[in-house]
Amino acid sequence: MRYERLVVDAGENQTFALDFHPRLTVVTGVGSLEREGLTSELLGVLSSNRSGGALELAKDDGTRLAVFRPYGAKHMVVDIDAGSDVSSDYADSSGAIDLIRAEGLDPTTARRQLKVNASDLSTSTRSAELIATLASVDQNQLWALAARVRESEAELAQMAEEVGSAPEDISAIEDVERRHEQFERAQAGHEKVRKATFILALLCALASIPLGLLLGPIMAAAVLAPAPVIALWSILMWRRLESARKAADQALKDAGADSYLGFHLNRVNSMLSGDQVRRDLMASAELHRQSTAEWTSLVGDVPVAWAIEHRQEVTDAARVRQHQVLAPQLDETDVSVTLAEELVVRFTAARRLGSSGESFPLVLDEPFSNFEPTIKAALLELLVKTSKDQQIILLTEDSDVAEWARVEALTGALAIVESTKSTLRLIDATDASNTPLAI
């Protein structure tokens, strides 16, 4: 959705009209109260039931609409090209015209999402932090690895489904099998030690008798000396066996089984019916585990699904870090990079805010106040480039921004509306006469 023209009836035969550039419109010379009022008009005309305004806009599919909110008359929406009344498509349950609610949004949320000021940029969100993390790594490696994780996950889920189980069962089976294998090894080791210690103890006891008779009690005691060591060895192996037994029992308990045999019979009988099926499942689970471990090693605890869902923001933020949209002289640790990344998050959110995928213009209310000129210049360049895909309306009283906009307007990339005490002038490369708008 892109605004084309806003008309506000101020009463007493005074009408304010503002035309918008399809990409970027900079309104300069407006103080905080004026910016707040203009923002209210820009966002309110979409959903407010207040009379006295009209808006012409173009939707993403090319449909051009006119929203009329006249005093003392029914509000309506007209398809400009078809010349037909389409108000019913945008009326809520009470009959009020509300383009915001027609997209599944409430006005409060929409206003919060579609208006950005300096404080919004200075407050990092969790989403911005995650996007910054993902944008800081090699993008080719990132998305190739994300694809591998999703593919291995899908393959594991499909294989488990085919045998009547679930991916979660694979983990449980592996844990049970691993613990049971450890228990069996401990049991076998203990059995060997038990036999060896029994034999050694018996030999020592048998040997001590004739040696004691022939060579005296000292020699008999020397033969029996290893007995405590043998006993200690046996006790240690027994403790190891008990520890392995407890771990195996806990794994079975976590898997919902009382015994190893019951686990096979009751939980995964069908899945373990064939060795090949079992091997394939374990191999698939191992592949998924490896790809997930690589992902965690690369980006930490960022969920793969979340990353894929926000791929466009991440890609845009990565371009910011690579200085393809920022001034090349700025170091990527500069504060402007962080600000640019947060702007990218807001731009992308506005592009897909509607439930149908409809985009909305983003209103920037003096977002770059108190920043150095070099940082402002870099962020303003980001606005120009981003506005190719996202309509932006920048409201400011910053003289640096106004000077920049006057120069950029000559290229046709934006329009600047300069406010004075009595006149708003639209300066556009296609309108050299700077004709005053009606007031």
Write down all domains in the chain, each with its CATH number in brackets. 2-123+310-427 (3.40.50.300), 148-299 (no CATH)
3-state SS record for the chain:
CEEEEEEEEEECCEEEEEECCCCEEEEECCCHHHHHHHHHHHHHHHHCCCCCEEEEEECCCCCEEEEEECCCCCCEEEECCCCEECHHHHECCCCCECCCHHHCCCHHHHHHHHEEEHHHHHCCCHHHHHHHHHHCCCHHHHHHHHHHHHHHHHHHHHHHHHCCCCHHHHHHHHHHHHHHHHHHHHHHHHHHHHHHHHHHHHHHHHHHHHHHHHHCHHHHHHHHCHHHHHHHHHHHHHHHHHHHHHHHHHHHHHCCCCCHHHHHHHHCCCCCCCHHHHHHHHHHHHHHHHHHHHHHHHHCCCCHHHHHHCHHHHHHHHHHHCCCCCCCCCCCCCHHHHHHHHHHHHHHHHHCCCCCCCCCCEEEECCCCCCCHHHHHHHHHHHHHHCCCCCEEEECCCHHHHHHHHHHHCCCCCEEEEECCCCEEEEECCECCCCECCC
pLDDT of residue 75: 92
Kindly give the parts of the chain with pLDDT less than 50.
167-168, 265, 267-268, 270-273, 324-333, 421-439
Would you state the pLDDT for residue 333?
43
Q: Which pLDDT value is given to residue 346?
A: 75
pLDDT tens-digit map of 154-210: 887 777 666 555 544 555 555 656 666 776 676 676 666 666 665 666 566 555 566
Q: Give pLDDT tens digits for 61-110.
A: 999 999 998 888 889 999 999 999 999 999 888 888 988 888 888 777 77
Total-model pTM: 0.58
- Round to whole Å and give the CA distance between 242 and 257: 19
